[in-house]
Amino acid sequence: MSAVLEVEDLTTRFATPDGEVLAADQVGFTIGPGESLGVVGESGSGKTQIFLSIMGLLAKNGRSTGSVRYRGKEILNLPARRLNEFRGDELAMIFQDPMTSLNPFLKISRQMIEVLREHKGLGDGEARKRGIAMLELVGIPEAARRFDMYPHEFSGGMRQRVMIAMSLLCEPDLLIADEPTTALDVTVQAQILELLARLKRELGMAIALITHDLGVVAGLCERVIVMYAGRAVELAPAGPLFRDPQHPYTKGLLLSMPRLDELAADQELATIPGQPPNLQALPSGCVFADRCPYVFERCRAERPGLRACGPGRLKSCHLEALA
Ligand code: SF4
């Protein structure tokens, strides 16, 4: 079946008073129908900017080149009027802070009814029914009563559910979730991830889950793309990536994840020493060279391209295999 989203050579730059920042550099991936892709990387790795580029939501000083096809149609850099035909109806994005998407001064009912009126042409009665059903679907208790509440009357986890319900109103093909659980405590985090997994199963919706935490993608995503300093350094099915990482950065991330089964009380977690490079002055060779325990001469001289390293796997590293 053809991909929902095909991204090729996506490059995003920002003009700043201190010079140009290269936020995403020749990134490519696909997302199939009903598939979930985890997009993992530290803050500043470019993971969010990729999806803001796709959605036409970049800050004014940003520009993107390359290609983004939604169901075969090129959508990168379309004018806002044309992009609005896709946004909400077919591609929806949710953020860490629900208040980015919810208006604090309007009741949930008014916000949902407006979306359904505008995008689906529903009358108030039908929109009300659909909105309440969507709140029920995301697990809001007493949905009919709470439909007429303001966002601040919900707890953090419930507000996140309301935002997910808002984004699902138009039944998008692809939900882009940017750190949707970062601000929540672990119990609520697990509930929201379970909710996304259930919605994916029940609605057949594809999901792009953007996170700095590899642990978050483990239960939900079939494939993972690992980003570092604006580049995709490893792409792989989730199972093989967790069992046998092929890029030194992925390996470092996995070693820095707490594992309850292995962590003794006094055992310290590994960390990746050093800092990511300055995106205004990237090295000519491998962007991970300054932090890589495997670095050798060629790494500093030559940028590693993405190459196959197993079934459905790609990595950007000169090494044949990790010891
Ligand atoms: Fe490390 Fe070299 Fe591979 Fe870069 S190319 S990740 S520096 S081994």
Beta-ladder partners of 234: 226, 315
Q: What is the pLDDT of residue 206?
A: 95
231 - beta bridge partners? 228
Task: Look at residue 95 in the predicted model and tell me its pLDDT.
Answer: 86
Are 76 and 253 in contact by the 8 Å Cβ rule? The answer is no
pLDDT at residue 260, rounded to an integer = 57
- Kindly report the pTM of this predicted structure: 0.91
Give all strands (DSSP E) within 118-248, no chain letters: 174-178, 206-211, 223-228, 231-237
The overall longest dimension of the chain from CA atoms, in Å, is 68
pLDDT digits (tens, 9 = 90+) for 104-162: 999 999 999 999 998 889 999 999 999 999 999 888 999 999 999 999 999 988 998 99
- The structure tokens 């993971």 sit at 47
On the question of pLDDT at 183 being above 80, the answer is no
Residue 91 contacts residue 70 (beta carbons within 8 Å): yes
Residues with CB under 6 A from ligand 1: 248, 286, 288-289, 292, 294-295, 299, 304, 317-319
What tens digit of pLDDT does each residue of 253-294 get? 998 887 655 555 555 678 888 999 999 999 999 999 999 999
Give the residue whose CA is nearest to atom 7 of ligand 1.
289
Mean predicted lDDT score pLDDT of the chain:
91
Length, in residues, of the chain? 323
Gap from CA of 295 to ligand 1 centroid (Å): 5
Query: What are the tens digits of pLDDT across the range 40-83?
Result: 999 899 999 999 999 999 999 999 999 999 999 999 999 988 88
DSSP 8-state code for residue 125:
H
